[in-house]
Structure 1
Amino acid sequence: MKNVYDVQQILKKFGAFIYSGDRIGDLELMEMEIDDLFQMQFIEKDRYLQSKLILRKEKTRLLNKGAR
């Protein structure tokens, strides 16, 4: 798993399609969905942690890009 697309594919397997038009909002919603999947033990810890890291990195990148 390397990017946000990979995280979206995990969510897609569980029927979660997230697109609101607000990229940062989408990333936050994806993070909440990943949290829920992990709490319900649908995904393993490794995949959970990787997903969280990818989503946070992308969110930070977008926020930093907007600050310039």
Structure 2
Amino acid sequence: MDNEQVIRTLYDVQQILKQFGIFVHLGHRIWDIELMFEELKKIHNAKLIDDKVFKSAVLVLKREHRYEENNLKHERGI
């Protein structure tokens, strides 16, 4: 894992997972984000990515999850 890799988008997180042969597509973006987080934790716990990469990726996933939650609330008129 390139320690200089900049992680700013969900696509960047997908590319990290892809390096380990992990492709996530469940059909709903929020579910994808949640599963990506679980897979990222497993990779980090196995010491395959460092703390800096993990923390950056988690921040992106949290931001995207909040965005999707807000969209769902808006669609439902909440």
Aligned residue in 1 for 2:27 = 21
Taking the aligned partners of 1:57 and 1:30, their CA distance within structure 2 comes to 13
| Count of matched residue pairs | 68
1:65 is displaced (CA, Å) by 1.5
Structure exhibiting the larger radius of gyration computed from Cα positions? 2
Residue 60 of structure 2 is aligned to residue 49 of structure 1: no
Residue identity opposite 2:9 in structure 1: N
Residue 46 of structure 2 is aligned to residue 61 of structure 1: no
1:62 is displaced (CA, Å) by 0.8
The list of structure 1 runs, each at least 4 consecutive aligned residues, that deviate by more than 3 angstroms after superposition, is none
Identity %: 35
Q: TM-score, normalised by structure 1?
A: 0.96
1:66 is displaced (CA, Å) by 1.5
Q: TM-score, normalised by structure 2?
A: 0.84
Gaps of 5+ in 1: none
Gaps of 5+ in 2: 1-6
RMSD value, Cα: 0.6
